[in-house]
C-alpha cells in the first residue's frame, strides 16, 4: 500500500516553527517512501479561521519548498481539501454511526453539563458524561427534534480500551473510561476536531498520521472512531515538542516563532528546512548539513527521538550564514537590496541602474552575514557618511606614517574616475615608493582614510567599487580631522 500522509493546519495565521516541522516530517516521510503528501485545511473553527490565513499557509509552504501533491491548487481524488467543503461527508458518516447505534443524539443543555462538570470537580473525579441521552428511544428523539431542539451527537464509547500504535512512542493502551461518550457533532451541526480529523483521514486513505505529540491524548478517541466507522486506524507518529533555550515550551516569549518573521529577517528557506529537520531527527552520522534532496534520501521515522528538541536560535543563525555563503550571489543580492534601501543607504533607481555594482558590493561583504538583514551593517562602508572613529581607527590615524600615506594616495587619485583592482595595486606601490611606508601602516592607513574604520572588505575589492571622487572626499575629511 502506498504511503499517504497529510499536513492539516488550521488557518489562523502564519505557520509557526512547530507546524512547519510537522509539515516537513510529513513531506520528508512521503518523499522517502515515494508516497503522497496531502495538504488539508482544517477550517471548521469558523470563528478563528480566515481565508486570508489560508493563503498565508500556502505562501509559507511554497516559500519553504514544501510542495503538496494533493490539496488546494494541486488537485487530487480525495477532495474537497478544506474541511468546510466536507460537511456532506461528515453528515454521511454520522448518519451511519447513528444508524448502527455507535452514536446517539444528546439533548443535554449546556447548563446541565456545566452542573455535572462542577459536581465532578467538587468530588475530585473526571467529568464523564453520565449517558443520560443514550437511553432515549427513537420516538422521543424524533419528537424532540421535530419540536425544534438541536441535539449534539455523541459517540457511544463501548470499548474499555483504545490501542494507539505509535511509531515513536510504541503501542499505548488508553482506558476509554478516561473520556466516556464524547461529543462528535455540536448542536450547530459542526463536527468537532476529533471527529472531522478521523472522517477525513479515513476517507483520504491516510496511512501515517505524523503530528505534534500535543495531540497524543486525543488519539485514543481517534482509534475508536476509526474502528467504529469500519476503518483500520492509520499508524501514528507523534513527534515531540519544541522547547525554547530555557527548556520550556517554545513560544513567542523566546523570540520569533513565525515562519514569516524568519523570512522577513533574512533567513533562507534552505537553512530553515535544514535546521528544523534536526529538531528531534538526526542522521546516523555526524553530518548536519543537508539539502532537501539529501534529507528525503536519509529521513526515517526510526530516527525521530521521543524527547523534546531545543530550538537553538544561535545555531539557526550559524546555519543560515553557511547557506548565505553557499547561495548564488544574485539571489543574495536580490534579498539584501531591500534591507539596504530600507536602511536609507541607497534607492531603487540607483539599484536598477547599477545592478552589477550592487552585486559586487554584496559579494564583498556577504561572508559576514548571519541573516540577509545584516546586509546594511556591512554595506554602510560603501554608502554611508564616515562613522565616528573608534579607538582603533584613531590609533591608526595618529601614526606618523598615516598622513603622508593618505596625502600621496590622494595626489595619485587625481584625474581618475574609478580604479580597477590592478590600478589600485599599482597605486599602492607608488604610494609605498613615495613615502617609504609599507605593510600594515600603509594598508591600515589607507583603510582608515577611505573607510573611517579598521575592518571591512578587502581594499582591492572595496576601492574599485567606489567612485574616485568619493574616495577623495573621504580622505580629505579624514585628513582635516586629525
Pick between residue 97 and residue 197 the one whose CB is nearest to ligand GLU: 197
Residue among 398, 396, 354 nearest 379 (CA): 354
Is 395 buried (19+), middle (13-18) or exposed (0-12) by CB count in 10 A?
middle
Binding-site string for ligand GLU from residue 8 to residue 37, where x marks contact by CB under 6 A and - marks none: xxx---------------------------
- Rounded least distance, CB 48 to ligand GLU, Å: 11
Work out which of 4, 21, 156, 211 binds ligand GLU, going by CB under 6 A. Answer: 211
Beta strands in 208-342 (DSSP E): 208-212, 235-239, 242-243, 309-310
Residue 374 has which C-alpha cell?
545584516
Of 252, 352, 440, 455, the catalytic one is 252
Q: Is 221 in the site for ligand GLU (CB under 6 A)?
A: no
Binding to ligand GLU in span 168-197, by CB under 6 A: 197
- Rounded least distance, CB 9 to ligand GLU, Å: 5
- Rounded least distance, CB 26 to ligand GLU, Å: 9
- Rounded least distance, CB 11 to ligand GLU, Å: 9
- Rounded least distance, CB 369 to ligand GLU, Å: 34
- Rounded least distance, CB 266 to ligand GLU, Å: 28
- Rounded least distance, CB 40 to ligand GLU, Å: 8
- Tell me the CA end-to-end span of the chain in Å, nearest whole number: 79
Residue 92 has which C-alpha cell?
454521511
Residue 419 has which C-alpha cell?
580604479
Pick between residue 196 and residue 428 the one whose CB is nearest to ligand GLU: 196
Judged by CB under 6 A, the stretch of 6-14, 149-157, 425-433, 454-462 that binds ligand GLU is: 6-14
298 in Cβ contact with 25 (< 8 Å): no
- Rounded least distance, CB 5 to ligand GLU, Å: 10
Q: Is 42 in the site for ligand GLU (CB under 6 A)?
A: yes
Pick between residue 10 and residue 451 the one whose CB is nearest to ligand GLU: 10
Judged by CB under 6 A, the stretch of 7-15, 169-177, 232-240, 449-457 that binds ligand GLU is: 7-15
Pick between residue 167 and residue 332 the one whose CB is nearest to ligand GLU: 167
Buried b (16+ CB within 10 A) or exposed e, 206-223: bbbbbbbbebbebbbbbb
Pick between residue 7 and residue 290 the one whose CB is nearest to ligand GLU: 7
Residue with cell 537590496: 337
Residue 346 has which C-alpha cell?
541607497
- Kindly list the distances between the CA atom of residue 184 and the CA atoms of 46, 141, 159, 187, 199, in Å, as whole numbers in the listed order: 16, 17, 17, 10, 11
d(CA 139, CA 136): 8
d(CA 427, CA 251): 56
How many residues contact ligand GLU, by CB under 6 A? 7
Binding to ligand GLU in span 294-313, by CB under 6 A: none
Residue among 10, 1, 78, 91 nearest 38 (CA): 78
Residue 120 has which C-alpha cell?
465532578
Q: Is 215 in the site for ligand GLU (CB under 6 A)?
A: yes
Binding-site string for ligand GLU from residue 43 to residue 82, where x marks contact by CB under 6 A and - marks none: ----------------------------------------
Q: Is 252 a catalytic residue?
A: yes
Beta strands in 41-146 (DSSP E): 103-106
Judged by CB under 6 A, the stretch of 2-10, 228-236, 279-287, 400-408 that binds ligand GLU is: 2-10
- Kindly list the distances between the CA atom of residue 90 and the CA atoms of 87, 376, 414, in Å, as whole numbers in the listed order: 5, 54, 82
Show the CA angle centred on residue 295, arms to residues 292 and 300, nearest 5°: 145
Judged by CB under 6 A, the stretch of 3-11, 111-119, 277-285, 309-317 that binds ligand GLU is: 3-11
Pick between residue 215 and residue 412 the one whose CB is nearest to ligand GLU: 215
Q: Which residues contact 182 (CB under 8 A, 6 or more apart)?
A: 129, 154, 155, 157, 194, 221
Residues at the contact surface with ligand GLU, assessed by CB under 6 A: 8-10, 42, 197, 211, 215
Active site residues: 252
Amino acid at each position: 500500500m502506498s504511503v499517504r500522509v497529510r499536513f492539516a493546519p488550521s488557518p489562523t495565521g502564519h505557520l509557526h516553527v512547530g507546524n512547519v516541522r510537522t509539515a516537513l516530517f510529513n513531506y520528508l516521510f512521503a518523499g522517502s517512501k515515494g508516497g503522497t503528501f496531502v495538504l488539508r485545511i482544517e477550517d471548521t473553527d469558523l470563528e478563528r479561521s480566515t481565508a486570508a490565513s489560508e493563503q498565508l499557509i500556502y505562501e509559507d509552504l511554497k516559500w519553504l519548498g514544501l510542495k503538496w501533491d494533493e490539496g488546494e491548487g494541486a488537485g487530487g481524488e480525495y477532495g474537497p481539501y478544506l474541511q468546510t467543503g466536507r460537511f456532506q461527508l461528515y453528515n454521511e458518516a454520522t448518519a451511519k454511526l447513528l444508524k448502527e447505534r455507535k452514536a446517539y443524539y444528546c439533548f443535554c443543555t449546556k447548563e446541565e453539563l456545566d452542573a455535572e462538570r462542577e459536581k465532578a470537580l467538587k468530588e475530585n473525579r473526571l467529568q464523564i458524561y453520565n449517558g443520560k441521552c443514550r437511553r432515549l428511544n427513537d420516538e422521543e428523539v424524533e419528537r424532540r427534534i421535530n419540536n425544534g431542539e438541536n441535539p449534539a451527537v455523541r459517540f457511544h464509547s463501548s470499548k474499555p480500551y483504545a490501542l494507539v500504535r505509535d511509531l515513536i512512542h510504541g503501542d499505548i493502551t488508553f482506558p476509554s473510561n478516561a473520556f466516556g461518550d464524547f461529543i462528535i457533532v455540536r448542536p450547530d451541526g459542526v463536527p468537532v476536531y476529533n471527529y472531522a480529523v478521523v472522517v477525513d483521514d479515513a476517507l483520504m486513505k491516510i496511512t501515517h498520521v505524523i503530528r505534534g505529540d500535543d495531540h497524543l491524548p486525543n488519539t485514543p478517541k481517534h482509534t475508536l472512531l476509526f474502528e467504529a466507522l469500519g476503518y483500520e486506524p492509520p499508524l501514528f507518529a507523534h513527534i515531540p515538542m519544541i522547547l525554547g533555550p530555557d527548556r520550556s515550551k517554545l513560544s513567542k516569549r523566546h523570540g520569533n516563532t513565525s515562519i514569516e518573521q524568519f523570512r522577513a529577517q533574512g533567513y533562507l528557506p534552505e537553512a530553515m528546512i535544514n535546521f528544523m529537520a534536526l529538531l528531534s531527527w538526526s542522521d546516523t552520522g555526524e553530518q548536519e548539513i543537508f539539502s532537501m534532496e539529501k534529507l528525503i534520501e536519509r529521513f526515517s521515522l526510526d530516527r525521530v527521538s521521543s524527547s523534546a528538541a531545543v530550538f537553538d536560535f544561535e545555531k539557526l543563525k550559524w546555519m543560515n550564514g553557511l547557506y548565505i555563503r553557499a547561495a548564488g550571489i544574485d539571489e543574495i543580492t536580490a534579498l539584501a537590496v531591500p534591507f539596504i534601501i530600507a536602511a536609507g543607504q541607497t534607492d531603487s533607481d540607483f539599484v536598477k541602474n547599477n545592478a552589477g555594482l550592487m552585486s559586487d558590493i554584496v559579494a564583498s561583504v556577504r561572508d559576514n552575514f548571519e541573516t540577509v538583514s545584516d546586509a546594511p551593517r556591512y554595506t554602510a562602508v560603501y554608502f554611508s557618511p564616515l562613522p565616528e572613529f573608534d579607538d582603533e581607527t584613531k590609533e591608526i590615524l595618529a601614526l606618523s606614517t598615516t598622513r603622508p600615506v593618505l596625502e600621496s594616495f590622494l595626489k595619485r587619485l587625481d584625474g581618475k574616475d574609478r580604479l580597477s583592482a590592478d590600478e589600485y595595486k599599482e597605486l599602492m606601490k607608488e604610494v609605498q615608493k613615495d613615502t617609504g611606508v609599507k605593510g600594515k601602516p600603509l594598508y591600515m592607513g589607507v583603510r582608515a582614510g577611505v573607510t573611517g574604520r579598521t575592518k571591512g572588505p578587502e581594499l582591492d575589492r572595496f576601492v574599485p567599487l567606489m567612485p574616485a571622487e568619493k574616495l577623495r572626499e573621504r580622505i580629505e575629511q579624514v585628513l582635516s580631522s586629525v
